[in-house]
Structure 1
Amino acid sequence: MMCSPLPGQVPVEPTVTSNGLTAQGAVEASPANKTSTEKPTECRKRKGICSFLMSVWKAMKHHFGCCCHSSAVDVVEPFIPPPDLDPEPDPDHSAVKPNNESFASLFNVGQMIGSGGFGSVYEGTRKFDGKKVAIKQISKIYNNHYLDIPGHPAPLVTEVALLLMMRQEPRSPHVIQLYEWFEHTHKFTLVMEYPEPCESLLDFIILNNKLDEPTARVIMRQAVLAVQHCIKHGVFHNDVHAKNFLIKKNTLELKLIDFGCGQLLSRDGYESRIYRGLPTYCPPEVFTDTRFHAVPTNVWALGVLLYEMVNPCSPFGNRMEITQAKVTFRNSNLSKGNNNILAVLGAGLEIVT
Structure 2
Amino acid sequence: MMCPPLPGQVPLEPTVTSNGLTAHGAVEASPANKSSTEYRERKGICGFLRSVWKALKHHFGCCRHSSAVDVVEPFVPPPDLDPEPDPDHSAVKPNNGSFASLFKVGKMIGSGGFGRVYEGKRKFDGKKVAIKQISKTDNNRYLDIPGHPEPLVTEVALLLMMRQEPRSPYVIQLYEWFEHPRKFTLVMEYPEPCESLLDFIIRNPELDEPTARVIMRQAVLAVQHCIEHGVFHNDVHAENFLMKKNTLELKLIDFGCGQLLSSDGYESRIYLGLMAYCPPEVFTDTRFHAVPTNVWTLGVLLYEMVNACSPFGNRMEITQAKVTFRNSNLSKGNNILAVLGGGLELVT
Same fold by TM-score greater than 0.5: yes
Other-structure match for 2:4: 4
Aligned partner (choices 330, 337, 347) of residue 342 of structure 1: 337
Other-structure match for 2:24: none
Other-structure match for 2:148: 152
Other-structure match for 1:37: 35
Q: CA deviation at 1:48?
A: 2.5
Q: CA deviation at 1:31?
A: 8.1
Residues in 2 aligned to 1:243 and 1:51: alpha-carbon distance in whole angstroms: 27
SS in 1 for 2:11: strand
Other-structure match for 1:194: 190
Residues in 2 aligned to 1:4 and 1:14: alpha-carbon distance in whole angstroms: 17
Deviations 1:264-286 (A, max 9, x none): 11111100011000000000000
| Paired AA for residue 185 in structure 2 | T
SS in 2 for 1:9: coil
Other-structure match for 1:166: 162
Other-structure match for 1:217: 213
Residues in 1 aligned to 2:135 and 2:200: alpha-carbon distance in whole angstroms: 29
Aligned partner (choices 274, 283, 286) of residue 287 of structure 1: 283
Deviations 1:147-173 (A, max 9, x none): 111111211111111111111110000
Q: CA deviation at 1:47?
A: 2.8
The reply to whether residue 120 of structure 1 matches residue 116 of structure 2 is yes
The reply to whether residue 87 of structure 1 matches residue 87 of structure 2 is no
Residues in 2 aligned to 1:341 and 1:308: alpha-carbon distance in whole angstroms: 13
Residues in 2 aligned to 1:146 and 1:44: alpha-carbon distance in whole angstroms: 28
Residues in 2 aligned to 1:8 and 1:124: alpha-carbon distance in whole angstroms: 32
> Gaps (5+ residues) in structure 1?
22-29, 67-84
Residues in 1 aligned to 2:216 and 2:14: alpha-carbon distance in whole angstroms: 43
CA RMSD of aligned residues (A): 2.5
| Paired AA for residue 263 in structure 1 | Q
Deviations 1:30-78 (A, max 9, x none): 985x6x4344xx5544332211100111122233103xxxxxxxxxxxx
Residues in 1 aligned to 2:31 and 2:308: alpha-carbon distance in whole angstroms: 42
Count how many residue pairs are aligned between Structure 1 and Structure 2.
322
Deviations 1:5-38 (A, max 9, x none): 11233434665543458xxxxxxxx985x6x434
> Gaps (5+ residues) in structure 2?
22-29, 63-81
Other-structure match for 1:323: 319
